[in-house]
Structure 1
Amino acid sequence: MIKVIAVDDEPVAHDIIRSHAEKIPFISLDATFLSATDALFYIKNERVDLVFLDIAMPDLSGIEFAAMINPGIQVIFTTAYPEYALKGFELAATDYLLKPINFTRFLKACQLAETRLQLPEVKKRDEEQALFVKDGHDWVQIKFSNLVYAKAEDNYVDLHEIDKHTLTRITLTELQTRLPADQFLRVHKSFVISRHKIERIEKHQVIVAGNKIPLSKLYRNQLLQNLEGEL
């Protein structure tokens, strides 16, 4: 049984989700919340497998909420605003339902969540570890497992993956907030690297998947402390 909660500041949305959920035997709607903050406290103490989540809420947006919870919890966004879809999928949302939500579409989203919850943990984790960035007029998915390093270029960042690179308009500091801190480290004012692809640490540079990346004095001690348990 999939344990579900709904978070939406409109009571009528709860009624619709509850009505749909009652028709699906493999999910259990255990709680509904008008406040995203209240839902966060609930998740800390109770098992939750899936969240039906509105985006435009007054205390905490659905985007902010999704970024705070355990990535193993499936998220299905429910909103009247289609322009949020890309951001939702960037956060590895299971699905994106536009209001008013019909039952057929709701059922399909629940079936997708059930499938994802049954995936082996390694595969699920790999699917979730990615972000979308803009490359010209297009949006490109960058998988964290494929990213070697990122280099600042004025108001742009050049993302170097194993087999390609992408130039996107973003600051390196902003990019770092979107990367998992346990996987990527700052080693220079202009460089962030993948810790899992470090081959060698020298006095003034780091070898990352064959690439020579400058290592500044400011970040050297921090890098060594972070890697202390692995070196």
Structure 2
Amino acid sequence: MKPIKAIYVDDEAPALELIKKYCLDMPEIELMDTFLDPREALDDLLLESVELLILDIEMPGLSGTDFLALVPKGKLCIFITADPTYAAKAFDMDVIDYLVKPVFPDRFKKAVQKAIDYLKFSASEAEQSYLTFKSDYKLNRVLLDDIQWIEGFREYIKIVTRFKQYLVLQRLSDFMNKNGELGFVRIHKSYIVRKKDIVSIGAQSVQVKGGKQLPIGRTYKDLLK
């Protein structure tokens, strides 16, 4: 597997230098750049290729949590901070790990390995048969054939399977951008299904396997023809 691509943002220069040193000793991570000013790291071209964000939380002007909220969904994140009281908020944001300064090399390596394991899991041998996502503080993997439909609620989606429903912090449009190649199609501004699961298309609804009727938007109906 190729090294995971990362950037590190921290307003403390010694902390930047320490993590740079750790990364030089780890072939499994490519630290593409470091930033003292988080606003300078908000570069669309750079962030497009970054897989892992390593962020200090307490920074002037733009905190690490605010920074994470501004970047495209789906980026993995490790928070590094001197204040352990942020731990609960960090895990509410579903980050990969949370490190308290001073960060020691073994602990940093363990955090990076968690991110690498997540990427490997997402691109596992059955990548065309499973959907991998984070929900309720856990990494979940469900069979594509078990998914009945996906419903959007602004910043969240609900993945409905034959056995269980999952709430995921992700926009419906972001889900389609990431998983469209798995056979998903958008039938409505609030609904996604797998094209192979569509049984029939009516004037105002689509029937999917299992008999569920879902609304269809006129724009999306034209795309299914």
Q: TM-score range by the shorter chain?
A: 0.5 to 0.7
Per the TM alignment, residue 82 of structure 1 is displaced from its structure 2 partner at its CA by 0.7
Question: Structure 1 residue aligned with 2:72, among 53, 68, 71?
Answer: 68
CA RMSD in angstroms, aligned pairs only: 4.3
Preserved CA contact (<8 Å) 1:4 1:30: yes
Which residue number corresponds to residue 149 of structure 1?
149
Per the TM alignment, residue 14 of structure 1 is displaced from its structure 2 partner at its CA by 1.3
Q: Cα gap change, 1:85/1:96 in structure 2, threshold over 3 Å: closer, same or farther?
A: same
Preserved CA contact (<8 Å) 2:132 2:139: no
Number of residue-to-residue matches in the alignment: 202
Per the TM alignment, residue 162 of structure 1 is displaced from its structure 2 partner at its CA by 2.0
Which residue number corresponds to residue 130 of structure 1?
133
Q: Distance in 1 between matches of 2:126 and 2:39?
A: 26
Per the TM alignment, residue 17 of structure 1 is displaced from its structure 2 partner at its CA by 1.4
- Amino acid in the other structure paired with 1:187: H
**Gaps (5+ residues) in structure 1?**
134-138
Q: Distance in 1 between matches of 2:187 and 2:58?
A: 33
Per the TM alignment, residue 51 of structure 1 is displaced from its structure 2 partner at its CA by 3.1
Which residue number corresponds to residue 96 of structure 1?
97
Q: Distance in 2 between matches of 1:26 and 1:161?
A: 35
- Give percent identity, aligned residues only: 23
Q: Distance in 2 between matches of 1:165 and 1:116?
A: 21
Residues 135-184 of structure 1, C-alpha deviations (whole Å, 9 max, x = no match) = xxxx67776845423679xxxx9763222246x7x9xxx97558614557
Q: Secondary structure at the match of 1:24?
A: coil
Q: What are the equivalent positions in structure 2 for 1:29-40 lying under 5 Å apart?
A: 29-40=31-42
Per the TM alignment, residue 105 of structure 1 is displaced from its structure 2 partner at its CA by 0.7
Residues 49-81 of structure 1, C-alpha deviations (whole Å, 9 max, x = no match) = 54323345544724324x516x4x654333442
Q: Cα gap change, 1:159/1:207 in structure 2, threshold over 3 Å: closer, same or farther?
A: same
Q: Cα gap change, 1:62/1:211 in structure 2, threshold over 3 Å: closer, same or farther?
A: farther
Q: Cα gap change, 1:220/1:59 in structure 2, threshold over 3 Å: closer, same or farther?
A: same
1:83 maps to 2:88: yes
